[in-house]
């Protein structure tokens, strides 16, 4: 397939992905998907996709045309890491709403595909800071992102970022709670997209843990506090390193919250102050997701 033909395939893929995600009106996201070569971020090992039974299927060859489907490509079978569902990320990026000239921190950047999409969305005057804990994944990401002057890449623990106020934070792993660095690092009108999830049991000793209950939330810094809303269901692999530290009591409370209705009525994040549990979908000592709007 010629580069010109592949560009047509990529353009059709972008349109289909945005329609599936419900963001077909967002031409910036469609344009980003049509410009970024997904095959550059899948590694050189034989490609494998995850089928409907969650089993890896090796493709006959690493043909770039195979990359343009709404499928999960295995990046690290040992760690349970994949390239993610493009339609899910299109929906989450639509909620994050990166704008030209903004600074966005991408936590859990993996091999950099969604970092590249963020770089397209913020444009040459913006900046994307990508952070990935796994050096093996970073070795794929760095050369793929090398030509993007508006991207810097760090192998580090996501708990240490951002280093200052930023316009947006895009988290690509599940956590039990938003970290203090993330909330305090939001500039005025800054947005955080974060998957909250209750980890299931690993399928082998010391294996990866995926969310058995999970949802992605949009948190935004407002003048009087933080608005919050559920974006959609999202079942990500759980964080490693300091970002993935587990608190048993918090895990149990979050599990209880996911088992009851009301998540769709969340309107605000109560941060570092007492909350009324009767007005919250989830609450603990220092944060809560409340049904009440920002004061």
pLDDT of res. 199: 86
User: Domain limits of the chain?
Assistant: 3-290
Tokens 């049991």 found at: 201
Contact by Cβ (8 Å): 83, 111: yes
pLDDT of res. 35: 98
Q: Can you say how many angstroms the Cα of residue 283 is from the centroid of all Cα atoms in its chain?
A: 23
pLDDT of res. 246: 62
pLDDT of res. 80: 81
Between CA 96 and CA 168 the distance in angstroms is 7
pLDDT of res. 239: 86
Query: Token pair of 118, please?
Result: 């963020």
3-class DSSP state of 27 = helix
Between CA 75 and CA 88 the distance in angstroms is 17
Between CA 96 and CA 89 the distance in angstroms is 10
Could you state, in chain order, the average pLDDT of each consecutive group of 10 residues for the chain (295 residues)?
Answer: 95 98 98 98 95 86 96 88 96 98 98 99 99 96 98 97 98 96 98 94 67 93 97 92 74 93 97 94 94 92
Contact by Cβ (8 Å): 7, 65: no
**Helical residues (DSSP H) of 82-211, grouped into ranges:** 86-96, 113-122, 135-145, 180-184
Residue of 156, 118, 116, 115 whose CA lies nearest to 135: 156
Contact by Cβ (8 Å): 209, 201: yes
pLDDT of res. 208: 67
Query: Token pair of 248, please?
Result: 């048993």
Between CA 161 and CA 154 the distance in angstroms is 10
Which CA distances in Å does 9 have to 66, 67, 69, 192, 278? 10, 10, 10, 32, 51
Between CA 183 and CA 203 the distance in angstroms is 32
pLDDT of res. 52: 77
CATH 3.40.50.10440 is the classification of domain 3-290: no
Gyration radius from the chain CA atoms:
19
pTM: 0.95
pLDDT of res. 25: 97
């Amino acid at each position: 397939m010629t580069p010109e033909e592949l560009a047509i395939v990529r353009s059709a893929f972008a349109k289909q992905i945005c329609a599936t995600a419900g963001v077909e009106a967002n031409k910036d996201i469609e344009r980003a998907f049509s410009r970024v070569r997904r095959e550059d971020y899948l590694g050189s090992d034989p490609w494998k996709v995850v089928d409907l039974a969650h089993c890896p299927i090796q493709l006959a060859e690493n043909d770039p045309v195979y990359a343009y489907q709404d499928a999960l490509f295995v990046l690290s079978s040992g760690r349970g890491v994949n390239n993610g569902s493009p339609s899910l990320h299109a929906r989450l990026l639509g909620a994050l709403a990166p704008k030209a000239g903004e600074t966005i921190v991408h936590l859990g950047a993996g091999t950099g595909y969604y970092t590249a999409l963020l770089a397209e969305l913020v444009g040459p005057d913006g900046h994307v800071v990508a952070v990935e804990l796994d050096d093996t994944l970073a070795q794929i990401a760095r050369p793929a992102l090398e030509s993007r002057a508006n991207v810097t890449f760090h192998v580090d623990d996501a708990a240490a970022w951002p280093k200052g106020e930023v316009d947006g934070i895009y988290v690509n792993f599940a956590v039990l709670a938003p970290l203090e660095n993330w909330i305090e690092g939001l500039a005025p009108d800054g947005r955080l997209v974060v998957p909250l999830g209750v980890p299931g049991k690993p399928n082998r000793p010391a294996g990866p843990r995926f969310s058995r209950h999970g949802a992605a939330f949009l948190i935004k810094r407002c003048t009087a506090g933080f608005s919050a809303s559920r974006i959609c269901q999202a079942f990500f692999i759980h964080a490693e390193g300091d970002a993935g530290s587990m608190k048993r009591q918090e895990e149990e409370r979050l599990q209880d919250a996911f088992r009851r209705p009301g998540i769709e009525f969340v309107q605000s994040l109560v941060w570092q102050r007492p909350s009324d549990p009767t007005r919250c979908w989830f609450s603990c000592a220092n944060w809560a997701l409340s049904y009440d709007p920002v004061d």
